[in-house]
């Protein structure tokens, strides 16, 4: 439909490049998004977010972000894990909950292998990651897609280790489900993602103006804070940075994005 069925949509910044290349996005008039000025410092210069700016024009506005962490049960994993390699530990065979996402799985295996560009693998690096993932499958208790899936699986399985795709949000949900888990930031670094809003090329006249108003609304201080309170996602306006200073971060889909996290060592 070439963007005619929708006026506005949200997805991870890492995936927006495909929409831009397909001609499905149109520039966002920042003069109509006054709340952008109130976003966190790491989101002020949108050119540092891969794919957000093309030829001086803005196509994406960030609204939520999170690292992917190593979640563990402190009663069963002691001392606290310091490396992603704990997911491969034989003592946790059949006890690791994994996130059902090939991109982050290959990236994590590559990070374990010492690759510095885990989202830009050479053919050999890709081949090297495959045996690691086959081995990891033997340790898996199950796979989850959404936060609540991981809660239900953790309630019904002995799962002291969880690949924490949703980090703080996931810890909050697990606690609400009566489960005591903590999270660690492995020494090899963490994957991080940022979700953004974009306007389709099919949005015209009044629809385009309404799309701008919607973006401005969702990044207002009140609504952004409610997003975090109700979902656990870190928002781009009021949240404090949850990634410890000095932690290496690999941005999901595009290494350049890692530089947008305050206090982190860009990969």
The pLDDT tens digits of the residues spanning 23-64 come to 999 999 999 999 999 999 889 999 888 789 999 999 999 999
Residues 116 and 210 in one domain: no
Q: How many CA atoms lie within 13 A of 234 on its CB side?
A: 21
The answer as to whether 121 is a domain residue is: yes
The answer as to whether 266 is a domain residue is: no
Residues 72 and 181 in one domain: yes
Helix axes 102-112, 123-139, angle to 10 degrees: 100
Q: What DSSP designation does 53 have?
A: E
pLDDT per residue as tens digits for the range 224-258:
999 888 877 789 999 876 678 788 888 775 433 33
pLDDT per residue as tens digits for the range 175-217:
999 999 999 999 999 988 889 999 999 999 999 999 999 999 9
d(CA 266, CA 258): 5
| DSSP string across 200-244 | ETT--HHHHHHHHHHHHHHTSHHHHHHHHHHH-PEETTTPPP-SP
d(CA 217, CA 41): 19
Residues 16 and 92 in one domain: no
Please give the torsion angle defined by the CA atoms of residues 160, 163, 169 and 174, in that order, rounded to the nearest 10 degrees.
-20
pLDDT per residue as tens digits for the range 106-141:
999 999 999 988 888 899 999 999 999 999 999 999
Residues 87 and 182 in one domain: yes
Question: What is the CATH classification number for the domain harbouring 143?
Answer: 3.40.190.10
The answer as to whether 216 is a domain residue is: yes
The answer as to whether 169 is a domain residue is: yes
Residues 24 and 104 in one domain: no
Of residues 100, 105, 99, 96, the one with CA closest to residue 160: 96
**Token output for 79:** 């001392």
How does the average pLDDT of the chain come out, rounded?
89
Residues 36 and 109 in one domain: no
The answer as to whether 3 is a domain residue is: no
d(CA 116, CA 243): 19
The secondary element (H helix, E strand) that includes residue 251 is strand 248-251
The answer as to whether 258 is a domain residue is: no
Residues 43 and 141 in one domain: no
Indicate if the pLDDT at residue 144 is higher than 50. yes
Q: How many CA atoms lie within 13 A of 61 on its CB side?
A: 30
Residues 61 and 74 in one domain: no
The answer as to whether 93 is a domain residue is: yes
The answer as to whether 2 is a domain residue is: no
Question: Of the residues 155, 190, 225, which one is the last residue of a structural domain?
Answer: 190
pLDDT of residue 1: 62
Q: How many domains does the chain have?
A: 2
Q: The domain containing residue 12 runs over which residues?
A: 8-65+191-243
Q: Is the pTM of this model over 0.85?
A: no
């Amino acid at each position: 439909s070439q963007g005619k069925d929708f006026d506005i949509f949200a997805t991870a910044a890492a995936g927006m490049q495909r929409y831009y290349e397909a001609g499905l996005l149109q520039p966002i008039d920042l003069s109509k998004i006054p709340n952008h000025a109130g976003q966190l410092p790491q989101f002020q210069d949108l050119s540092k977010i891969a794919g957000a700016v093309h030829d001086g024009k803005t196509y994406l506005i960030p609204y939520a972000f999170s690292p992917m962490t190593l979640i563990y049960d402190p009663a069963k994993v002691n001392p606290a894990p310091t490396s992603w390699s704990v997911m491969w530990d034989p003592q946790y065979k059949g006890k690791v909950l994994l996130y059902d996402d090939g991109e982050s799985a290959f990236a994590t295996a590559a990070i374990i292998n010492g690759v510095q560009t885990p989202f830009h693998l050479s053919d050999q690096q890709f081949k090297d990651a495959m045996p690691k993932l086959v081995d990891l499958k033997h340790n898996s208790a199950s796979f989850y897609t959404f936060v609540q899936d991981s809660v239900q699986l953790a309630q019904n399985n002995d799962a002291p280790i969880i690949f924490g795709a949703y980090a703080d949000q996931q810890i909050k949900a697990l606690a609400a489900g009566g489960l005591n888990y903590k999270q660690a930031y492995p020494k090899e670094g963490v994957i991080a993602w940022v979700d953004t809003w974009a306007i389709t090329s099919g949005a015209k006249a009044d629809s385009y103006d309404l799309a701008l108003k919607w973006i401005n609304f969702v990044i207002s201080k009140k609504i952004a804070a409610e997003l975090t309170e109700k979902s656990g996602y870190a928002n781009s306006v009021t949240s404090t940075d949850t990634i410890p200073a000095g932690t290496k971060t690999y941005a999901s889909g595009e290494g350049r994005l890692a530089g947008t996290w305050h206090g982190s060592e860009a990969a």
